Structure 1
Amino acid sequence: MTSSYVPIYLGDEDLTQETRDLLSSLPSEKGWLVSQIYQFEGSWHTQGLVQGILNCQKNFKANDSDIILATTPKSGTTWLKALLFALIHRDKFPVSSKHPLLATNPHPLVPYLEADYRVSPDVDFSELPSPRLMQTHLQHHSLPVSIKNSSCKIVYCCRNPKDMFVSLWHFGKKLAPQEIADYPIEKSYWYESRKNPNKVLFVTYEELKKQTEVEVKRIANFIGCGFTAEKEVSEIVKLCSFESLSKLEVNRQGKLPNGIESNSYFRKGEIGGWRDTLSESLAEVIDRTTEEKFRGSGLKFSC
């Protein structure tokens, strides 16, 4: 039975027989937001998201011009959605008082692939303007084959595990105060970015915070919409900043179509904010685990 706070795409209603059969064969544990979560292709998911992933893998057809934003939950997804939307559509929507981001939360502006396919296996993205911008929380090896075989671009944002864990914990408390869980951090996008840098761009939340304009220009060049004027860069950075977005009425009040309160996506957005929540001993456990998992990869986290 799902919590009343849980968005529809995480729920366990209306599962297909194919999904139920698959779930019966998967490892499961007590869940976060829902009663059970299941290990599918190396990650833990709710029953509903397993069905969404299956539908997405079967039905999504990537275009060569597509741009896919991939993140681990609570690793800067909202910020990156805003930045990429503003970058891609800056000719159509120059920074002004009428910009869509001033009246709409970033999440409805950028489709969430496996969640949309959870709601409907026949979801149609053909009407999205080109280049189509879409977001996913899937690991690289779980992406639809058409994404990996096409020439579409993937922007992946990674965040310090301790800050990600704390941000996810606070987000979970808002949705279902009695239940929390952790998410795995994986390295496949890091390896793919090194093997195929023209296909996958690896961004860290920390570098994006420390040198935002530099990183935004790097992202813009990667997705094929580089800047010709420095003023444009600073305008988009200001429009999409945590400070600007979090103060907008649309992000402070009401709920999104998925049922989640808009302000749930805006907490602090800080680097090193984990220090206010984690004990030193737990932080050390996370550091040791991270070091063990990432050993030999060349990927390191500060703070």
Structure 2
Amino acid sequence: MLNISFWYYLLGSMSISQSSAAPKYLQEDEIVPECKDLLSTLPKEKGWAEPHLYKYQGFWYPAWQFQGVLECQQHFQAQDTDILLVSAPKCGTTWLKALAFTIINRNSHSIDDPGKHPLFYNNPHDLVHQIELESHIDNPIFNPSSPRLFATHLPYISLPKCAKNSECKLVYICRNPKDTFISLWHFMNELRLNHLASISLEVAFDKFCRGVSIFGPFWDHVSDYWEESRKRPNKVLFLKYEDMKEDPNLHVKRLAEFFGVPFSIEEATSGVVDGIIKLCSFENLSKLKVNKDGKLPSGVENKTFFRRGGVGDWKNYLWPVMVERLDYLTEEKFQGSGLHL
């Protein structure tokens, strides 16, 4: 069994590089022996912002992240009232965390006095924790009152069995693969290890298309949750980032309904929904001091999570041949599924 104090060590050992916002991640030779032995048996390729990515249960992880995945699978205990926010990286995770936290806690943290709201003093990632990083740690902050709200980037196959088999609810958010790739490329270059050069757009693009990206392949990640949402719509709510940007009012109401805390008529008519949308908007959160100057416990600067937040940024980067390849892959992967991105 893996040492559950690992993430205490990891969070305490990360530091900011003098030359960039990149955290100093645990080196591969510092991984605990049990994990290292398993890693040695797995397929590996050169990573984007780390020496290697390892393929486990069909998806790719850096060594430090992989150890967290194993610990999560062994130790996380889902409760029937839990809510789990799920996404592939750079698909709207930060926004969804802010919205979900605010919707669920709107009675205890009113938006009527937004200057006192936790989002003014905490990055959304500080308020909703990733189960593959830290939720299994025996710490009161990870055991809030019901419903507990967590997040994960884990593919469906790698979720702890208790999360699949319990009555806990999953909210999955996906995004157009072209914008996802561009956002991921920028993000991973910010997080690269000090001794590694930036990964070029062309090299990263080829890896992404081959599925070799953190928590990738992207299309498999999305399609597995899409299929689960069709089989069990009461358990898995599937959202598209672009649809949420187009009609946030509708989707905030959908989230509240799915969480079991629908808005009352009084709330709907008094501007509560619009207030939540404004509070959690990219425009608002990106201007807050905590998200300009703050850092996560890992050492990652909060501003790293607020680059653009829009739709269609891929048009500024991708060549026509790249667009054609991504569109072909997307059509091929989702053919016959009823899903269109």
TM-score between both structures, scaled by the size of structure 1: 0.93
Give how far 1:49 is off.
1.2
**Aligned position for 1:277:** 317
Corresponding residue SS for 1:260: coil
Q: Which whole-Å deviations, capped at 9, do the CAs of 1:100-154 have from their partners, x for residues lacking one?
A: 001111111111111226xx86567663222111110001111001111110110
Structure 2 gaps of 5+ residues are 1-13
Farther off after superposition, 157-166 or 178-187: 178-187
Is the 1:140–1:188 Cα contact (8 Å) retained in structure 2? yes
1-structure distance, mates of 2:263, 2:138:
37
Q: Which whole-Å deviations, capped at 9, do the CAs of 1:63-88 have from their partners, x for residues lacking one?
A: 11100000000000000000000011
Question: Are the structure 2 counterparts of residues 123 and 290 from structure 1 closer, same or farther at C-alpha, using a change threshold of 3 Å?
Answer: farther
Farther off after superposition, 204-213 or 255-264: 255-264
Is the 1:67–1:152 Cα contact (8 Å) retained in structure 2? yes
1-structure distance, mates of 2:27, 2:185:
19
Question: Are the structure 2 counterparts of residues 210 and 33 from structure 1 closer, same or farther at C-alpha, using a change threshold of 3 Å?
Answer: same
2-structure distance, mates of 1:91, 1:246:
24
Alignment of 1:81-230 (within 5 A): 81-95=97-111, 96=113, 97-116=115-134, 127-176=143-192, 178-179=198-199, 180=204, 182=208, 183=213, 184-185=217-218, 186=221, 187-228=223-264, 229-230=267-268
Give how far 1:16 is off.
2.0
Letter in 1 for 2:325: V
**Aligned position for 2:327:** 287
Is the 1:9–1:49 Cα contact (8 Å) retained in structure 2? no
Is the 2:83–2:259 Cα contact (8 Å) retained in structure 1? yes
Give how far 1:11 is off.
5.0
Question: Are the structure 2 counterparts of residues 136 and 9 from structure 1 closer, same or farther at C-alpha, using a change threshold of 3 Å?
Answer: farther
2-structure distance, mates of 1:94, 1:14:
44
Selected match of 1:17 from 29, 33, 46: 33
Give how far 1:12 is off.
3.1
Letter in 2 for 1:255: K
Question: Are the structure 2 counterparts of residues 92 and 233 from structure 1 closer, same or farther at C-alpha, using a change threshold of 3 Å?
Answer: same
Give how far 1:200 is off.
0.3
2-structure distance, mates of 1:284, 1:36:
28
Give how far 1:237 is off.
0.6
Letter in 1 for 2:298: N
2-structure distance, mates of 1:13, 1:238:
45
2-structure distance, mates of 1:9, 1:56:
19
**Aligned position for 2:9:** none
How many residues get paired? 298
Matched, 1:33 2:53: no
**Aligned position for 1:70:** 86
Give how far 1:236 is off.
0.4
1-structure distance, mates of 2:29, 2:292:
30
Give how far 1:263 is off.
0.6
Question: Are the structure 2 counterparts of residues 256 and 13 from structure 1 closer, same or farther at C-alpha, using a change threshold of 3 Å?
Answer: farther
**Aligned position for 2:3:** none
Letter in 2 for 1:75: C
Corresponding residue SS for 2:109: coil
Give how far 1:18 is off.
1.7
TM-score between both structures, scaled by the size of structure 2: 0.83
Selected match of 1:253 from 293, 302, 321: 293
Question: Are the structure 2 counterparts of residues 78 and 68 from structure 1 closer, same or farther at C-alpha, using a change threshold of 3 Å?
Answer: same
Is the 2:22–2:190 Cα contact (8 Å) retained in structure 1? no
Question: Are the structure 2 counterparts of residues 154 and 9 from structure 1 closer, same or farther at C-alpha, using a change threshold of 3 Å?
Answer: farther
Q: Percent of aligned pairs with the same residue?
A: 48
Give how far 1:253 is off.
1.2
Is the 1:110–1:133 Cα contact (8 Å) retained in structure 2? yes
